Chain A
Amino acid sequence: ETGVTQTPRHLVMGMTNKKSLKCEQHLGHNAMYWYKQSAKKPLELMFVYSLEERVENNSVPSRFSPECPNSSHLFLHLHTLQPEDSALYLCASSQDRGEGLRETQYFGPGTRLLVL
C-alpha cells in the first residue's frame, strides 16, 4: 500500500448505528487530518492530529469522535449521526516541521457516507 488509504470507501448507516472510519498513511508523516466535503460547500476541517496529539476543534459535534493511536493511523468514530452528516469524509496527512511550518497535505480516496 502506498500513500493514504481509507476504509470503507462507501458506508450506509442508520441514525442509531455506530461505525468507524479508518485511515492509514504510508508516507512517514507526523500529522493527520479529517475533512468533511458536502455538496456545494468547501472542504471543512474537522480534526487535526500533530505528533499524535489532538488539536481541539470545538465546532465539530460530539457525535464525531476521532482517535489517533499512532502517527500512521487515524480513526473517526461515528454514533447517532443525522442525515445532514451524509458527505465525503477525507483523511489527509502531512509532515509538520514545527514553528508553524507544515508541508503539503496528501489526501486519501475518501469514504462516501450516507446516513438514512
Chain B
Amino acid sequence: QKEVEQNSGPLSVPEGAIASLNCTYSDRGSQSFFWYRQYSGKSPELIMSIYSNGDKEDGRFTAQLNKASQYVSLLIRDSQPSDSATYLCAVDSGGGADGLTFGKGTHLIIQP
C-alpha cells in the first residue's frame, strides 16, 4: 500500500514569512513528485513538480526532494493571504495501474 503522509494542519504563518510544507512517502521506487494547491470547492492546480534530488525554484516557490529520506517539501517565500489553501503532495511511481498517490493535504493559513 503506497502512502503519502502530510500534516493536516492548519499551519498558520504570518504574511511575508516563509511557509514550509512537508511530505513523506512510502514507495522508494517513486519517480515523480508534485505539489498541488486546492482552494475550497475548487479542483487541484499544479504548483511545482520535481523529479531529482535537490531544490527546484519557481518564483516564490521552492520544492525540495530527498529520495534517500523519502521526503519532499515546499517552501513559499513572502507568503501572501492568497496563498491560503490546502496543499496536496502527490507521488507518482510510474506506469501501470497507478495514477498519483495523494496525501490528505496541509491546510495553510496566511495571517494578514
Q: Do A and B come from one complex?
A: yes
Contact surface of A with B, Cβ cutoff 8 Å: 33, 35, 40-43, 45, 48, 55-57, 88, 90, 92, 96, 98-102, 104-110
Interface residues of chain A: helix, strand, loop or mixed (majority): loop
Q: Interface extent on B, as a size class?
A: 20 to 34
Kindly list chain B residues whose C-beta atoms are within 8 Å of the C-beta of A110: 42-43
Task: Give min CB distance, B99 to chain A, whole Å.
Answer: 4
CB-contacts of B1-47 with A (<8 A):
4, 31-32, 34, 36, 42-46
Best-buried of A48, A99, A105 by chain B (most CB within 10 Å): A105
Kindly list chain A residues whose C-beta atoms are within 8 Å of the C-beta of B90: 43, 105
Kindly list chain A residues whose C-beta atoms are within 8 Å of the C-beta of B101: 45
Number of A-B contacts (CB under 8 A): 62
Q: Do A55 and B97 have beta carbons less than 8 Å apart?
A: yes
A102 CA / B103 CA spacing, docked (Å) = 19
Could you mark each residue 80-91 of chain B with 1 if its beta carbon is under 8 Å from any beta carbon of chain A, else 0? 000000001010
Of the residues A41, A56, A101, contact of B104 by C-beta under 8 Å: A41
**Nearest chain-A residue to B92 (Cβ)?**
A102
Q: Do A33 and B95 have beta carbons less than 8 Å apart?
A: no
A40 CA / B9 CA spacing, docked (Å) = 12
Q: Do A107 and B96 have beta carbons less than 8 Å apart?
A: no
Q: Do B99 and A105 have beta carbons less than 8 Å apart?
A: yes
Of the residues A42, A99, A104, contact of B105 by C-beta under 8 Å: A42
Kindly list chain B residues whose C-beta atoms are within 8 Å of the C-beta of A55: 96-97
Kindly list chain B residues whose C-beta atoms are within 8 Å of the C-beta of A40: 104
Of the residues B31, B96, B100, contact of A101 by C-beta under 8 Å: B31
A55 CA / B49 CA spacing, docked (Å) = 24
